[in-house]
Amino acid sequence: MSKKTFKQRQEKKRKEEGKSLRSAMLRFFDENPGESFQFRELAKALGPKNKALNKELFKLLEQLVDDGKIRQLNDGSYASTREADLLEGVVDHVNPRFAYINTGSGTDIYVKARDLATALHGDTVRITILSKRQGEKPEGRVEEIVKRNRTRFVGRLEVSPNRFAFVVPDFRKIYQDFFIYQENIGKAKNNDKVLFEVTKWGDGDRNPEAKVIEILGKTGENEAEIHSIMAEFDLPFRFPQQVSHEAERISGEITEEEIRRRKDFRDVLTFTIDPEDAKDFDDAISFRKLDHGHFEIGVHIADVTHYVKPGTVLDEDAFDRATSVYLVDRTVPMLPERLSNELCSLRPDETKLTFAAVFEMDRHGKVHKEWYGRTVIHSDHRFTYEQAQEVLEKGEGKFGEELILLNDIAHKLRKERFARGAVNFETTEVKFKLDAKGRPLTVVPKVRKDAHKLIEEFMLLANKGVATFIYKLKKGGERNTFVYRTHDFPDPEKVSDFAKFAKQFGHQLQTEESAISRSLNKLMDEIEGKPEQNVLQSLAVRAMAKAKYTTDAKAHFGLAFDHYTHFTSPIRRYPDMMVHRLLQHYLDQGKPVNKPEYESRCLHSSEREKRAADAERASIKYKQVEFMSLAEDKVYDGIITGVTDFGIFVEIIETKCEGMVRLADMKDDFYEFEERNYRVIGRRRKKIYRLGDEVSVRIKKTDVDRRTMDLTFEDR
């Protein structure tokens, strides 16, 4: 080989190596957007080991800087000039070590706590994806905070002798304290529960700064703790003055002209069945026998929209609230008392304006005719659930014949619903008996009997009937925009995981789409009264999709209805008010309304519904922890209801209260979490704790502020 040829080949090889090194360098910067690197870090990452190649690397970096591909920073490090692709999502701050960013794409992004910048749980952020990590999920870093979820929080004030203070937030997904200067403490004192507002977000190791807005009371007192929950979930403490004044000015007069516009049911037997402590009665049942052996059964609902008009401050406030919220010791109502407890409450022996779904039915529950429209009623009697149940059980009493017949029809409606594939979830709920100061005296499971189910079936019939009627009512081939209550088919993967878990208890679940409803019902029957009942019911509910409000006319999987809506509770749910208005609009031959506008209202209502459910759960959890803090020190029987990488949740069977055994407190072994198998297993002894296991526990510590209860396992 000639010397010239050799030199040409060497030159070609160097060019190819240079191209290869350039590609590797650009790829490295692309995989690490937003990060900067010193020369030694780049040399180590890209592999040059000798001085010659290091020299090539220096040359390449200079070329890339000249070409504008990278830039050299003041500290001598290099970074890409390419704008990093930013993903937007919402922070779910799982624990003090890390958070997930929900981008809506189906895959959550893992972010270490130190890479959250100043973002808190619920904030909307933009993130960059970092180079691949070892875990299952991609890892990111917060680059920008787009929107703060909130700037006001609730917590317990700790005042130092030097008069500055810290607030320890109540919300469990905030893992830092807030610093408060003396001038921003106001009249608050040590151990007060306060509402505070962030004035400056922390940076690095510095705590965020805040000021006290309102003193809620002393930590541990019922009023302070309930107000704390209301503030945590941004629930309104009171109605704005303008809203209250507008409600008080509404006339309660029912004119003869208004009655003539409606179907008159004042001479038809009508009654309500509600909880004993109910203050508003928004639904009533009318009943009469028809000459040909059928029955006319009317479901009459308080006509709230007769009084609450669009565009008023009353309506705007109701829309913002979207739902009433039921805490353990109070209701945060959607509407002022003037409406909810007076004008729109279907009290006995009073003439009331209503909106009705009226059905002609036979004793087998078959609907032969239906009618929807505005009515006027005069309720003959108010039953409590207990009173109605007593009539059903004794077979006699006030309106006994009518109640028994209605109950018989309700049974047939229920049976038919399950035959069509409705899912029967009967989860156990609890209520508290409180003393005058709000302290819990006893925990009582709520029991659903025939009287509850009777009302439920006729409300379901009305809701389904209204939705189906509007769906079929087309205008020139165009579908009418309407507010539906939908429930999607469950995620197949979640159902499959649930089926595998149920199999560990000896139960088979068919996961085919056509068989899942009936198979679930069979499983619910099989586990009734067994130790695993609550756990499997709870897991089954988690495997289901969430019901929501939407203008899309999809089916309701859980109820097995092709079309369903919420028509029956306008005193406490704004979507029902929308349904009433739309129903009347279409009965009056109105044209289809703006779909995007109503879809936006549906989304808002669904979000408010979730907020209400979270607040209600928080108030129950608070009372459970408070109740157990007063309980005797003894060993309790429990059942494992949740397993995580940091602890095991246990529900105490006697009180239905839930606490946690922390893995860090389990000193007999090092336990590892197996997410797919819903269990933890000891590394050395192989002892297993799994979902549904019966265990014995003792209370280690209760924290009313955080609404948490720490437990320890005990041997019997």
pLDDT in tens, 353-366: 999 999 999 999 99
Mean pLDDT in residue range 61-87? 79
Q: What is the model's pLDDT at position 128?
A: 84
pTM: 0.82
* In contact, 353 and 570? CB cutoff 8 Å: no
Q: What is the pLDDT of residue 33?
A: 63
Please state, in angstroms and rounded to a whole number, the distance separating the CA atoms of residues 300 and 360.
14
Domain 3-80 has CATH 3.40.640.10: no
**276-331 pLDDT, tens digit each:** 888 788 999 999 999 889 999 999 999 999 999 999 999 999 999 999 999 999 99
Distance CA 110, CA 136 (A): 9
Burial of 573 (0-12, 13-18, 19+ CB in 10 A): buried
Kindly state the percentage of the chain with pLDDT values over 70.
Answer: 93
Residue 133, pLDDT score: 56
Residue 710's Cβ-count burial label (10 Å; 0-12, 13-18, 19+) is: middle
More confident residue, 663 or 60: 663
The vertex-653 CA angle with 650 and 654, nearest 5°, equals 130
Q: What is the DSSP letter of 591?
A: P
pLDDT tens digits, 260-290: 999 999 999 999 999 988 878 899 999 999 9
Instruction: Please determine, for residue 398, whether its predicted confidence score (pLDDT) is greater than 60.
Output: yes
Q: What is the pLDDT of residue 525?
A: 82
What integer is the mean pLDDT of 668-681?
88
Return d(Cα 493, Cα 512) in angstroms, integer.
12
CATH 2.40.50.140-classified regions of the chain: 87-147, 633-713
At 410-467, the pLDDT tens digits run 999 999 998 888 887 766 777 888 888 888 988 888 888 999 999 999 999 999 999 9
What was the pLDDT predicted at 332? Answer: 96
Q: Is a pLDDT exceeding 50 seen at residue 472? A: yes
Token digits of residue 515: 């068989």
Encode 411-476 in three state secondary structure. Answer: HHHHHHHHHCCCCCCCCCCEEEEECCCCCEEEEEECCCCHHHHHHHHHHHHHHHHHHHHHHHCCEC
Q: What is the pLDDT of residue 80?
A: 78
| Number of neighbours of residue 494 by Cβ within 10 angstroms | 15
> Which range has highest mean pLDDT (184-188, 444-448, 487-491)?
184-188
In angstroms, the Cα distances linking 384 to 380, 391, 679 are 14, 11, 44
Mean pLDDT to the nearest integer, 515-543: 80
Task: Please tell me the predicted confidence (pLDDT) of residue 369.
Answer: 97
More confident residue, 633 or 612: 612
Q: How far is the C-alpha of 708 from the C-alpha of 622, rounded, in Å?
A: 8
Higher pLDDT, 4 or 225: 225
Alpha helices in 289-359 (DSSP H): 304-307, 313-321, 337
User: Which of 81, 91, 77, 93 lies closest to 124, judged by CA?
Assistant: 91
- In terms of Cα–Cα distance, which of 147, 165, 170, 161 is closest to 207? 165
Cβ of 477: how many Cβ atoms within 10 Å? 5
Q: What is the pLDDT of residues 19-62, one digit of tens each?
A: 677 888 877 777 676 677 888 888 777 765 555 567 778 888 88
Q: What is the mean pLDDT of the chain?
A: 88
Q: Are 513 and 519 in contact (CB under 8 A)?
A: no
- Protein fold of 87-147: OB fold (Dihydrolipoamide Acetyltransferase, E2P) (2.40.50)
Paired with 673 in beta bridges are: 680
Whether residue 496 has pLDDT greater than 50: yes
Contact 578, 310 (CB under 8 A): no
Regarding predicted confidence, which is higher, 40 or 246? 246
Q: What fold characterizes domain 633-713? A: OB fold (Dihydrolipoamide Acetyltransferase, E2P) (2.40.50)
* Buried/exposed code over 433-461 (b: 16+ C-beta within 10 A; e: otherwise): eeeeebebeebeeeeeebbbebbebbbbb
User: pLDDT exceeding 90 applies to what percent of the chain?
Assistant: 56
Dihedral sign, Cα of residue 144, residue 148, residue 151, residue 154: negative
C-alpha of 296 from chain center? 38
Interatomic CA distance for residues 454 and 361, integer angstroms: 15
- CATH 2.40.50.700-classified regions of the chain: 152-219
Average pLDDT on 9-14 reads: 50
Q: Each residue of 104-140: pLDDT tens digit?
A: 777 788 999 888 989 999 999 998 887 655 556 788 8
As a three-state string, the secondary structure of 379-425 is: CCEEEEHHHHHHHHHHCCCCCHHHHHHHHHHHHHHHHHHHHCCCCCC
Residue 3: the pLDDT is 47
Q: Report CA torsion sign: 353, 359, 362, 366.
A: negative
Residues 116 and 99: their CA atoms lie apart, in Å, by 8
CATH number of 152-219: 2.40.50.700
* Backbone φ and ψ of 540, nearest 5°: -65, -40
Identify the three-state secondary structure at position 543: helix
Q: Which two tokens stand for residue 624?
A: 């459970």
Residue 701 CB coordination number (10 Å)? 12
Q: What one-letter code names the amino acid at 169?
A: P
Q: Can you give the pLDDT at residue 6? A: 40
